[in-house]
Homo-oligomer: A and B are copies of this chain.
Amino acid sequence: MNDIPEGVIERLSTYLNCLIKFQQNGIETVSSERLGSSSGVNPAEVRRDFTYFGTFGKKGVGYDVETLIQHIQRILGSDEPHKIALVGAGNLGSAIASYEGLLQHGFHIAAIFDKDPGKIGENIRHLEVFDIKDLPQITKSTNIEIGIIAVPPTSAQEAANLLVEGGVSVILNYTPALISVPAGVQLHNTDPVQQLLHTLYYLSSTGDKGLPRKKRIPDGSKNRIKATH
Inter-subunit contact B91/A203 (CB<8 Å): no
Partner of A218, one of B3, B92, B180, B220: B180
Binary flags per residue of A69-87, CB closer than 8 Å to B gives 1, else 0: 0000001111000100000
B-facing residues in A162-193 (Cβ within 8 Å): 169-170, 172, 176, 178, 180-181, 186-193
The interface stretch among A26-34, A59-67, A98-106, A128-136 is A98-106
| CB nearest neighbor in B for A3 | B224
Is B195 touching A172 in the complex (CB atoms < 8 A)? Answer: yes
Cβ-defined contact, A186 with B172, below 8 A? no
* Chain A: interface size category: 35 or more
Which of these, B5, B10, B91, B178, contacts A95 with CB under 8 Å?
B91
> In the complex, what residues of B have CB within 8 A of residue A82's CB?
196, 200
Contacts A178-B218, A203-B169 given; indicate if A52 touches B196 (C-beta within 8 A).
no
16 example contacts (A-B, Cβ-Cβ < 8 A) are as follows A4-B224, A4-B227, A13-B197, A18-B178, A76-B201, A78-B197, A91-B95, A99-B192, A99-B193, A100-B153, A146-B199, A170-B196, A170-B200, A172-B196, A186-B199, A188-B220
Q: Which residues of A contact B (CB under 8 A)?
A: 1-6, 9-10, 12-14, 16-18, 21, 52-54, 75-78, 82, 90-92, 94-96, 98-102, 104-105, 107, 145-146, 148, 150, 153, 169-170, 172, 176, 178, 180-181, 186-205, 213, 218-229
